[in-house]
Structure 1
Amino acid sequence: MLRTALRNVLAHKARLIMTVLAVGLGVAFISGSLVFADSTTAAYRASMAKNYAGVAVTVDPKSPPGAPANGRTNVLDDALVAELAAVPGVSAARPTADGSATLAAKNGSPMRADNTMGKLAAAYVPGADGKDSRFPLTSGRAPRTDGEIALDRGTASAGKYALGDIVTLATDGPVLRMRLVGIVSTKDTRVTSGGTLAVFDKATAQKLFAAPGRYTGIDLSAEPGTDQFELARRVSALLPADRAEATTATAKAGRQSVFIDTKTSSYSRLPMVFAVVSLFIGSFLIINTFTMLITRRSREIALLRAIGATRRQVVGSVLAEAALVGLVASALGFVLGLGVATALPSVLGTADDLLPRGPLVIGPAPVLASLAVGVGVTVLAAWLPSRRAAGIAPVEAMRAAEQAPSAALSRIRGAVGAAVLVLGAGLLFSLSDAKDASDENLRTALFGCGILVTGLILLAPLLAGPVIRLLGRLTARSGVAGDLAKDNALRDPRRTAATAVALMISTALVSGLAVIDHSSSRALDSQAAAGLSADYVIGTRNTTTAIDAAAVQRVAAVPGVATASAVADSTISAGAFAREVSGVDPKTVGDVMKLRFTSGSAKDIGPGRIAVSSSFARENRVSTGGQIKASIGPGRGDRAQPYTVVGIYQDNPTAHDVLAHRGDVQQHSFLRDSLQRVLVATDHGAASPALEKRLRAAVDGSPLLTVQDRAQLVREQAGVAGDLAGMVFGLLAVGVIIAALGMVNTLAMSVSERTREIGVLRAIGMDRTGIRRMIRVESLVVAAYGTLLGLAVGLFGAWKVSGLANGAIPQYAFSLPWGTLALVVVLSLAAGAAAAALPARRAAALSPLRAVADA
């Protein structure tokens, strides 16, 4: 029986290659995502190891009670460096003055401005040999004064800088311009993966990131045999407990490890979505392929049964054949997966957030997963056809090559399918009154959609008849070829349904996600400008940087500016979660924000008095006139203060969750007394290129800041849905490829089964063009059937989950993306037409006499 299984694989290799490709695609995405996740994590961990190589203990400053949040004042100075260098067990003490600097390229565009992790800045601290081993010079010299800077090779190349050029940069406010005097190299993967590195002389770095004569940290190396923890204890004894702390490099690496695990945990999610979809759709292709193969081999199986083969041996033979196919698919998929893992950093990374590069890490998990998925899915998919094959009686198989399902079985299938369909629809209808996208509602929606699709899969063979007869009115225009194509599709509704199901699933996923994406994009477009009456927004990219106070005054003085209202952004904690707070001037906030108060007024905002959004008020059970204890700024949960609520306004993305007095927010911001936004209202209420140019000049072209009008804000917000849109079309591509493979398989086997019929048609006068047209129309009918079912379930599912999306985005409204849906239909039908090309050519090439004789 094993030899028989092997012969069957070799005999049908041209057909089973489609199954191998389908399974291989799913294996490729799974193994590729696992290799990618392992490789990326290893690259991050390698970065940490390099950062702490040769370091045993680090000394960091602490902010004493009542000190500014940014902790610029500390006790780490040269005297402490010398004292720590003399501690028994310390072999060397290296001070650091590190921070973050946003660079502009030579053409003025910001470099990696949105990523705070990849904008490194450091002091050049030479050792006894006059060189800083962390930043070896490759050309030029090290910076010596406050007007000089060195860049790493990658940064200089990306920014198009050469020695002698003026580099524009900013740290937390004013724009700086320095002459490039040196090019350095570095092994820090935060830089080599696409980040930037700016190196200053020690005095300049201290001024920018610590304080004159102070450092941001001290790295201590240990003598051989010295225990890190014992060394940390000795160092701690010399430090003021409230001003500095010593931490072992092992503990520091452990803290970063938690962060890295959190960051990299999401990298494999998107590839896994494609993997699950491709495997789910591919399983129907596998089932259909083995079902058709077994149907064609029913006489062979009957002969085996007649000469003594047991049912168990027949099942074992089919499963062994499936295992061989799965093994080949696993090997192919794993090789393709390495390509996926290599390409994913470029696909998932952006210009502002490049993923670290490093060698591929191939552990046992991807290999085992490839085998488990490839072999396991194929064997499971072939199990049902194998059981059906084992149930074939020798006499029945000798008498007929194809047995129609019994009427009773069809009725049972219809009843079960209808019950499952109603259950899925009922779960989705239960979400009609949903007000938010809670985890429970999301689970109900996903479960309901899954059950709905399952019900439609069960009903697909029963729905094939009426739907294809309806489509037959269109195919009738193709004459006799169209009528024959319709009849061929109706000949075996189970086969037609199984072939169409792959396209149905992908179409349902794509159409549903496309509707949600389109509706969400429109809502986000509306939300981006909602609550904003200003014509321009000048802002930093995060709350850890600030707008130069002098720049705010220059903006207010720009001709054409009617109001320039500065806003300080931070966080406020009033419970388990931190929310966003905007520090505003109550006198001008009404000129730049559209605030709809349900009670109270923005004019009552002042020191100790805040206004809150409706959702914040509901979450914290507070009303106008009440008091709430809250803390503004990072790490201030233990210093909550009472605030009086003077108003409640409708949720507003421009105002954020809380409006507070600007002085209150600035006092506790990450950067004390800093500003993060300037909302600009113009004299005539209109934006213009000339005014935008003047505003950019007023902020000195700072790479820290964005200058956007309302239209630009909308376009930027629309980009938030870009990942979903990419996933939509990626799923469409996966589904179309696998569905096309299924249709090629089905049509090829159908042509083989109908060899005599095709020969008779040729003999009575149908030419080769007519044969090709018949096969193509049949493929288009199957594709149209799957597309119609997919559109129906996809649009229905998207419609019923609108309530969840509306809870997350108040402006959400169900809207159909006609262009995208039309593209889905066209691509699905194109896949059907393309799938028919090879079988149609093969059918048309059959010789009439030979076809009749050989069939």
Structure 2
Amino acid sequence: MIAMWRLTVSNALAHRSRLALTWLAVALGVAFVAGSLVLTDTSSQLLDNQFRTAAAGVDLTVRTAAAFNSAMGVEVQRAPLPADVVGRVADTPGVDRARPIASGAGQLQVRGRAVLPAGPTILGTWADAPFTAYRLRAGHAPHGPDQVVLDAATAREHAVRLGDTVTVSATTSKQLRVVGLTGVGDRDGLPNSNLVLVDLACAQTLLGLGPGVTSIDVIADPDVAVADLRTRLATSLGSGYAVTTGQDTAAASAAAAKQSISYLRIVLLALSAAGLLVGAFLIANTFAIVLTQRSRELALLRAAGATGRQVFTSVLGEALLVGVTGAAGGTAAGIGAAYGLRGLARGAGLALPDGPLTVNPRTLLVAVAAGTLVTLLAAFGPARRAARIAPVEAMRLSDPAPATARRGRLITGWVLLGLGVIQLAAAAAFRDIAGVAIGAVLFLAALVVLGPVLAPRLAQAVGRPLARLGVPGRLARESTVRNPRRTAATAMALALGLALISFVSVLDSSVKAAVGTSYREAITADLIIESARNEMLGGLSPEVAHRAASLPEVAVASPIRYGHWLDRGMTSALTAVDPATLPHVARVRMTAGSLAALDGGGVVLAANVATERHLHLGDSLPMTLPRDGQQQLRIVGLMDDASARALSTSYVISLATYAAHYNENVDASVMVALAHGVKPQQARTALGKAIADFPNAQIRNQAEAAAGRAAAIDQVFGLITVLLCFAVLIALLGITNTLALSIVERTREIGLLRAVGMTRRQLRSMIRAEAVLVAAVAVVVGVVVGLGLAAATLGGLSSDMPLVVRVPVARLLAVVAAAVLAGLAAGLLPARRAARLDVLTAIATH
């Protein structure tokens, strides 16, 4: 056993140049996995630290009760605490100190420009130690209605100095003088956030709380157990209030903020899996080629007494060495790659915190295990074939002929292909997205099985233009066709990456087109006022809608709000509208009931939801709302699905119903219909002057509003496309690797070609043409598969939104051109190596 292991190590070292690109493919795939885990672990840890730091020194927090804490990454806003509760808490035995807090989302404007961080702008009450970790870096604490303290990081970034005046907006807007700069612990601020700190009375005014407060921080007497005080306060205050430890409150806030990171982790790991799958093709192909070239060597081992099992173990041992070392190198590279992934995610609009990287032992274990396992699985097939080599092969003077497709493979492949096509067609027809996923797996499996059959035929067809290159072009096509299994494996790796990019591109274009069409068809408003950051849950003070409605240029200003509710344990969203003004700015088609009936309470549903849940006009829908728990809302109307999409949710309530069950007092948007004869630019100018002191309010026309929605979709799909390019890079390494190894295999053939008159230039052209031909085959397969899967997926998604396939021709042509050029580049080094071979030495090679 020890002797075989030594032989394994010796073989791996002896063939290290042939396995180098395989090692690199493993390293790249694992780097993606490790970087994804490090990034998400780091972001989670930084958010935990951020909220834990903010709650430092606080034993207990008192807030009003809520049916649930957060939804879709956003904490629910609780009802304000009455002013008398502060005294009741402070007078409770065991309470050392109690501090009332008024806090919420705000907006900051510096020198007429809105400050828009990647994360929130936190408007809160200044507090001294020990209640918070805020530490003054300059100036003094805010006192009075016109003073504010900013975090030092924001002040530095926007050149704000003590004594400067800034505008702060929430429910109302005020100009405040900067009197201090603060840090948080040992940092100059919170990651991706702005801190705007004022005194209690100013915060209550800005947030529209009146005499109420959002929470009360409590410090217990030194001789009182925190758990006992918590029980005492909860009993004293009653079930309408929630009493939690400061760290539990911080943990709940961090958990809400980390929901988006959980989604990001899923996306990144799915894309990492795609990269590893592409790498598996390269690994399997490399081992198949190398072992074919070593067939006589392996046969000699068999002749010397080695069993098939020992040969099998030896080959897997080589794969283990490549896998472990490649995975270790990839893990190390992935830790650094986490910085790049963080930048890409931020470019897609995700607010990820800055800070030192966190590397958990689990990350190291998962990354190394993933790379090693994929390498072993990819090498399993070639190892089995190597174990079957008979000792008689040692007497052959040439390498064995390439294997031809077996009958069993053909039958299996065509059966899988038929089942996949039928499943995809049926799933698209019945709008079953889960069925589409099953069909896609069957279809891709069929392509892998049938690859050696289809690849040579495609290469013959696609390679016909190469005849114009003369002899080098014809030889390139024949060489590509000659080994169908190798060509199929090389092309399939690149085809998979290109299929995913094509799939994402078509999905992006189709979804954007559907969203834009629905919006333009349903929304008739002349202008839309929206938050500069496109927050679905709001950001616009109600004062914006009030001022807009009071202008003579405006006929109607209709605000829209959004909220979350629990639907059978799952978070869902709803839209709140004004039934009286909405028909003036939107075309809502009702299939039953009326929008005006919302004035009496109740809910309007999208028709497809009513059908799916077997609900009818007059039925009651149980909805768990954040402030009041489960409520039975009567169904007063059904609207068509296009109207629901334009309003962004399938559930619509009135603003009055919203106010009765929600505490949020900000609008998501205000849709404006102009008075007769008023020109849009005239109205825009008037609106701009009226709401100039609300820095986050942006005035847009329909086209601009639709473009904003499209930009948000583009950001997400753009991130996915960029990350998929890593999989394509690994596949291109496969082309380079396959050609380099095939040159070793064809050394004598190349020598003979040179001997009969082929020039170095012609030889380089032949090798480059082979690379381009493999890339072209991959392009054809990848784009066709990507378009087919996208069409099926869009059909499956049409149960929620009728989606028409929109093919981004220009983008796909760019992908095709880039893939072909990349294929050409992949052939440069092998072509150069082939041209440098010594003719006589090459001819003498066996």
Compute the TM-score of the two structures, normalised by the length of structure 2: 0.90
User: Quick check: 1:364 aligned with 2:364?
Assistant: no
Residues 589 and 146 of structure 1: CA distance in aligned 2, closer, same or farther (over 3 Å): same
User: Quick check: 1:301 aligned with 2:298?
Assistant: yes
User: Quick check: 1:12 aligned with 2:6?
Assistant: no
| 1:712 counterpart letter in structure 2 | E
| 1:331 counterpart letter in structure 2 | A
What does residue range 617-636 of structure 1 map to in structure 2 within 5 Å? Answer: 617-619=610-612, 621-624=614-617, 626=618, 628=620, 634-636=626-628
Q: Tell me the residue number matched to 2:74.
A: none
Q: Tell me the residue number matched to 2:528.
A: 537
Q: Tell me the residue number matched to 1:159.
A: 158
User: Within 1, Cα distance between the matches of 2:546 and 2:245?
Assistant: 46
Q: Deviations over 1:627-675 (max 9, x none)?
A: 5466796433445465644987863334454555554444444257x76
Q: Tell me the residue number matched to 1:47.
A: 50
| 2:181 counterpart letter in structure 1 | I
User: Quick check: 1:710 aligned with 2:712?
Assistant: no
What does residue range 690-701 of structure 1 map to in structure 2 within 5 Å? Answer: 690-701=682-693
> Which secondary structure state, in structure 2, belongs to the residue aligned with residue 360 of structure 1?
coil
| 1:179 counterpart letter in structure 2 | R
User: Within 2, Cα distance between the matches of 1:648 and 1:448?
Assistant: 30
1:842 to 833, 836, 840: 833
Q: Tell me the residue number matched to 2:407.
A: 411
Is the contact made by 1:612 and 1:659 (CA closer than 8 Å) also made in structure 2?
yes
User: Quick check: 1:613 aligned with 2:606?
Assistant: yes
Residues 637 and 713 of structure 1: CA distance in aligned 2, closer, same or farther (over 3 Å): same
User: Within 1, Cα distance between the matches of 2:537 and 2:287?
Assistant: 60
1:102 to 77, 100, 107: 107
User: Within 2, Cα distance between the matches of 1:299 and 1:221?
Assistant: 80
User: Within 1, Cα distance between the matches of 2:217 and 2:596?
Assistant: 51
Q: Tell me the residue number matched to 2:454.
A: 463
> Which secondary structure state, in structure 2, belongs to the residue aligned with residue 198 of structure 1?
strand
Q: Deviations over 1:414-448 (max 9, x none)?
A: 1111111111111101113224xxxxx33321221
Residues 684 and 491 of structure 1: CA distance in aligned 2, closer, same or farther (over 3 Å): farther
User: Within 2, Cα distance between the matches of 1:506 and 1:170?
Assistant: 47
> Which secondary structure state, in structure 1, belongs to the residue aligned with residue 644 of structure 2?
coil
Residues 190 and 685 of structure 1: CA distance in aligned 2, closer, same or farther (over 3 Å): farther
Q: Tell me the residue number matched to 1:517.
A: 508
Q: Tell me the residue number matched to 1:438.
A: none
What does residue range 801-840 of structure 1 map to in structure 2 within 5 Å? Answer: 801-810=793-802, 812-840=803-831
**How far did residue 176 of structure 1 move?**
1.5
User: Within 2, Cα distance between the matches of 1:76 and 1:764?
Assistant: 101
2:591 to 586, 595, 598: 598
> Which secondary structure state, in structure 1, belongs to the residue aligned with residue 184 of structure 2?
coil
**How far did residue 781 of structure 1 move?**
1.2
| 1:531 counterpart letter in structure 2 | A
| 1:298 counterpart letter in structure 2 | S
**How far did residue 543 of structure 1 move?**
7.9
1:721 to 713, 717, 736: 713
Q: Deviations over 1:30-63 (max 9, x none)?
A: 2222222322222222223323333322233569
Mind listing any 5+ residue stretches in structure 2 that lack a counterpart?
Answer: 68-76
User: Within 1, Cα distance between the matches of 2:568 and 2:362?
Assistant: 41
User: Within 2, Cα distance between the matches of 1:446 and 1:646?
Assistant: 31
| 1:124 counterpart letter in structure 2 | W
Is the contact made by 1:141 and 1:181 (CA closer than 8 Å) also made in structure 2?
yes
**How far did residue 351 of structure 1 move?**
9.1
Is the contact made by 1:666 and 1:675 (CA closer than 8 Å) also made in structure 2?
no
User: Within 1, Cα distance between the matches of 2:193 and 2:543?
Assistant: 29
Q: Deviations over 1:196-254 (max 9, x none)?
A: 111112332344458566543333334556422112234445x4426655333354355
User: Within 2, Cα distance between the matches of 1:300 and 1:55?
Assistant: 72
| 1:827 counterpart letter in structure 2 | A
Q: Tell me the residue number matched to 1:504.
A: 495
Sequence identity (%): 33
User: Within 2, Cα distance between the matches of 1:412 and 1:356?
Assistant: 54
User: Within 2, Cα distance between the matches of 1:193 and 1:752?
Assistant: 54
**How far did residue 773 of structure 1 move?**
0.5
What does residue range 188-199 of structure 1 map to in structure 2 within 5 Å? Answer: 191-199=189-197
What does residue range 278-297 of structure 1 map to in structure 2 within 5 Å? Answer: 278-297=275-294
Residues 753 and 589 of structure 1: CA distance in aligned 2, closer, same or farther (over 3 Å): closer
Calculate the aligned-residue CA RMSD, in Å: 3.3
Q: Tell me the residue number matched to 1:757.
A: 749
1:74 to 64, 77, 82: 82
Mind listing any 5+ residue stretches in structure 1 that lack a counterpart?
Answer: 436-440
User: Within 2, Cα distance between the matches of 1:63 and 1:405?
Assistant: 69
Is the contact made by 2:62 and 2:215 (CA closer than 8 Å) also made in structure 1?
yes
Residues 132 and 140 of structure 1: CA distance in aligned 2, closer, same or farther (over 3 Å): farther
Is the contact made by 1:776 and 1:837 (CA closer than 8 Å) also made in structure 2?
yes
Q: Which moved more, 1:323-332 or 1:654-663?
A: 654-663
Is the contact made by 1:687 and 1:709 (CA closer than 8 Å) also made in structure 2?
no
Q: Deviations over 1:730-752 (max 9, x none)?
A: 35422321122111111112212
Residues 197 and 17 of structure 1: CA distance in aligned 2, closer, same or farther (over 3 Å): same
Is the contact made by 1:104 and 1:159 (CA closer than 8 Å) also made in structure 2?
no
2:25 to 22, 27, 32: 22
Is the contact made by 1:167 and 1:177 (CA closer than 8 Å) also made in structure 2?
yes
**How far did residue 299 of structure 1 move?**
1.6
User: Within 1, Cα distance between the matches of 2:679 and 2:289?
Assistant: 66
User: Within 2, Cα distance between the matches of 1:512 and 1:525?
Assistant: 20
**How far did residue 565 of structure 1 move?**
3.5
Q: Which moved more, 1:313-322 or 1:690-699?
A: 690-699
Q: Deviations over 1:568-599 (max 9, x none)?
A: 6556889777552433243x433211122334
**How far did residue 835 of structure 1 move?**
1.1
Residues 99 and 679 of structure 1: CA distance in aligned 2, closer, same or farther (over 3 Å): closer
What does residue range 762-801 of structure 1 map to in structure 2 within 5 Å? Answer: 762-801=754-793
Is the contact made by 2:78 and 2:214 (CA closer than 8 Å) also made in structure 1?
no
**How far did residue 539 of structure 1 move?**
4.1
**How far did residue 770 of structure 1 move?**
0.6
Q: Tell me the residue number matched to 2:91.
A: 83
**How far did residue 620 of structure 1 move?**
5.5
Q: Tell me the residue number matched to 1:561.
A: 554
User: Within 1, Cα distance between the matches of 2:782 and 2:414?
Assistant: 17
User: Within 2, Cα distance between the matches of 1:840 and 1:398?
Assistant: 32
> Which secondary structure state, in structure 2, belongs to the residue aligned with residue 431 of structure 1?
helix
User: Quick check: 1:852 aligned with 2:843?
Assistant: yes
User: Quick check: 1:421 aligned with 2:414?
Assistant: no
Q: Tell me the residue number matched to 2:143.
A: 144
Is the contact made by 1:295 and 1:401 (CA closer than 8 Å) also made in structure 2?
no
User: Within 2, Cα distance between the matches of 1:298 and 1:620?
Assistant: 64
Q: Tell me the residue number matched to 1:393.
A: 390
User: Within 1, Cα distance between the matches of 2:610 and 2:395?
Assistant: 77
Q: Tell me the residue number matched to 2:479.
A: 488
Is the contact made by 1:23 and 1:374 (CA closer than 8 Å) also made in structure 2?
yes
Is the contact made by 1:93 and 1:218 (CA closer than 8 Å) also made in structure 2?
yes
Residues 315 and 600 of structure 1: CA distance in aligned 2, closer, same or farther (over 3 Å): closer
User: Within 1, Cα distance between the matches of 2:66 and 2:13?
Assistant: 74
| 2:775 counterpart letter in structure 1 | A
User: Within 2, Cα distance between the matches of 1:140 and 1:351?
Assistant: 37
**How far did residue 314 of structure 1 move?**
1.5
Q: Which moved more, 1:135-144 or 1:443-452?
A: 135-144
Q: Which moved more, 1:212-221 or 1:371-380?
A: 212-221
> Which secondary structure state, in structure 2, belongs to the residue aligned with residue 522 of structure 1?
helix
User: Within 1, Cα distance between the matches of 2:606 and 2:772?
Assistant: 54
User: Within 2, Cα distance between the matches of 1:516 and 1:628?
Assistant: 36
Q: Tell me the residue number matched to 1:202.
A: 200
User: Within 2, Cα distance between the matches of 1:535 and 1:719?
Assistant: 21
Q: Deviations over 1:589-637 (max 9, x none)?
A: 332111223345545664347654323543564545x354667964334
1:584 to 563, 578, 582: 578
| 1:83 counterpart letter in structure 2 | D
